[in-house]
Amino acid sequence: MRQLTVTIPDDFYETFVSFFKHIPDVSINENVKDEVPLWQQEMVLQRMKNAKPEDYRSWEESKKRRDAKWNK
């Protein structure tokens, strides 16, 4: 048996799933909780592309800022 991961548009989802439900020995696992929407992925990539070196902060600095904010 083989395993397949497929990304499909939302408007085709119901048709796609209903088709595969009729095939014996097919299991459909929906990992919706871990999905990042495509628009959000694109936004992050665009922000990374446009970021300047001075926009970045080291993990140590980030940790200090976090601790200062939440450990008052």
pLDDT digits (tens, 9 = 90+) for 2-31: 888 888 888 988 898 888 888 888 887 776
Is the model's pLDDT at 60 over the cut of 70? yes
Question: Cα(35)–Cα(48) distance, rounded to whole angstroms?
Answer: 20
Model pTM above 0.95: no
Question: Cα(51)–Cα(57) distance, rounded to whole angstroms?
Answer: 12
Full 3-state SS string of 13-34: HHHHHHHHHCCCCCCCCCCHHH
Sign of the Cα torsion 30, 31, 32, 33 reads positive
| CA dihedral angle for residue 58, residue 54, residue 56, residue 65, rounded to 10 degrees | 60
